[in-house]
Amino acid sequence: MSSSTDSLPPALAKIVQRFQRASDQKRRYEQLIWYAQKLPALPEADKIPENKVPGCVSQVYVTATLEDGKVKYQGDSDSQLTKGLVGLLIEGLNGLSPTEIVQLAPDFIQETGLNVSLTPSRANGFYNIFKTMQKKALECKLDP
């Protein structure tokens, strides 16, 4: 059985499968909280307008650096659930090349089932965080 996760980077595919196995909304939320708790603290100095994710109700910050041709993200949010979304994306995208990140379609967001569990504004925020991470990856690529 081939699934659409086959085309995803391994770490992201694993995350999508983990959420697909979570049978209900409560389990998905618990997983997001777990990702939020795993996320290392973002230095206050990085909480600047250039790192703020636009279009999010919560305060969300994402930074990206290029190390040996691979993108390394850091992020934070003032909301636990949103911070979990940031953590999930960081775990799924860290260590990929800017090209791999920029070429990734946001379809995996639907595959997690989170778009159904999240409020419309939070689901939209999830998409905005992903788009910001792609933009930052592109900036890494253009400005090594």
Give the position of tokens 């085309």: 7
Residues tagged active-site: 56
Q: Say if residues 115 and 139 touch (Cβ distance below 8 Å).
A: no
Burial class (CB in 10 A: 0-12, 13-18, 19+), 119: exposed
Residue 141 CA to chain centroid, in angstroms? Answer: 19
Residues sharing a CB contact under 8 Å with residue 40, sequence separation 6 or more, in sequence order: 74
